[in-house]
Structures are given as structure tokens and as C-alpha cells.
């Protein structure tokens, strides 16, 4: 019984940390692109329920589209879904085993979304170096990072004061 309590407390603390990280990212997205009303997340939804809830909470008033992927084989279908649902931005879930920052699936997603004029955002420097337009969170050292080259491809502006990579 004590083990369950400790695990539950740890899970709650992890969700709170994730919520704070996505809060900063949500504010940056709203500030940089006020017209964004629909945000998509591509990840293994069962493994990342806490992150999905945190993203939804950090972006109030925005519609959240969750595209569930279980492996790289699902990425083509995910892009088709995103193409029909037309999100204004895509949020990367850093630790996702399929499309998290640094993975080949994330690179594929970032490239395809930029070509479709849909910016991708991340919470890590790895995500921004990989091609996410904006990054803000613990994985960026708390700095707002921007990828100007990809911003140009996606057709979006980067906020003043962002450190460019």
C-alpha cells in the first residue's frame, strides 16, 4: 500500500513538472502566433497521457488534436490525419519513444509540417536543432530558442528576444 502511495505521489509530481514546462511553451506560442487556435500532438498517447493533459491545460482555448502513433510505421498515417485536420502548430513530446525530440520520426514530422506551413514547437534544444521553430522549457535551460531557417520555411515569425540556433 505504501508503494502505491509513493508511486502515485511521484506520478503527480511528474505531471506538475510537465505542466509547468508546457505552460511556458503555451505562453510563447500564444505570444508569437496569436492566430493559433488548433494544436496537434503526435505521440504514443497511452504512454504520454500526463504530457497530453499538461499540453491541453497549458493552451486553454485552443483545440487539441492527438494523433496516436505506436511506431514509425504509423507516421505516414499520422501525416495524413494532420493534413485533413489542419492544425496551426504541432507540439513535440520530448520523451515520446516514437516521435520525441531527436528521433527520426520527429525529423520526418518536422520537415513535412514546415513544408505544409505548420510550425513545430518543442521543450528541448534538441528539438529546435532538429527543426522545431520554437523551443522553451527545462531542456532549453529556460531560454526561448528559435530556428530561423525553419521559421522561414514554415512562413512564421520568431519572437523578439529569442536566441536563434
How many Å apart are CA 85 and CA 68, to the nearest integer? Answer: 14
Please state the domain count of the chain: 1
pTM over 0.85: yes
Tens of pLDDT, residue by residue, the chain (165 residues)? 333 333 333 343 344 445 577 999 999 999 999 999 999 999 999 999 999 999 999 999 999 999 999 999 999 999 999 999 999 999 999 999 999 999 999 999 999 999 999 999 999 999 999 999 999 999 999 999 999 999 999 999 999 999 999
Range of the domain at 50: 2-164
Query: Of the candidates 141, 135, 132, 115, which has an alpha carbon nearest to the alpha carbon of residue 123?
Result: 135
In DSSP terms, 65 is beta-bridged to: 40
Within 10 angstroms of residue 89's Cβ, the number of other Cβ atoms is 24
| pLDDT at residue number 104 | 95
CATH of the domain at 64: 3.40.50.2300
The length of the chain is 165
| pLDDT at residue number 20 | 75
How many Å apart are CA 79 and CA 37, to the nearest integer? Answer: 19
Q: Which three cell numbers stand for residue 37?
A: 487556435
Amino acid at each position: 500500500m505504501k508503494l502505491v502511495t509513493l508511486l502515485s505521489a511521484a506520478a503527480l509530481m511528474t505531471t506538475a513538472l510537465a505542466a509547468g514546462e508546457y505552460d511556458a511553451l503555451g505562453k510563447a506560442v500564444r505570444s508569437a502566433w496569436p492566430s493559433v487556435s488548433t494544436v496537434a500532438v503526435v505521440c504514443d498517447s497511452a504512454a504520454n497521457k500526463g504530457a497530453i493533459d499538461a499540453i491541453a491545460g497549458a493552451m486553454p482555448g485552443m483545440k487539441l488534436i492527438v494523433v496516436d502513433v505506436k511506431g514509425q510505421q504509423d507516421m505516414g498515417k499520422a501525416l495524413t490525419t494532420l493534413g485533413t485536420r489542419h492544425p496551426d502548430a504541432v507540439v513535440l513530446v520530448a520523451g515520446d519513444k516514437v516521435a520525441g525530440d531527436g528521433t527520426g520520426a520527429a525529423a520526418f514530422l518536422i520537415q513535412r509540417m514546415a513544408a505544409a506551413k505548420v510550425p513545430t514547437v518543442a521543450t528541448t534544444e534538441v528539438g529546435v536543432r532538429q527543426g522545431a521553430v520554437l523551443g522553451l522549457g527545462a531542456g532549453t535551460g529556460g531560454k526561448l530558442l528559435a530556428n530561423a531557417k525553419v521559421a522561414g520555411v514554415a512562413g512564421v515569425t520568431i519572437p523578439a528576444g529569442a536566441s536563434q540556433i
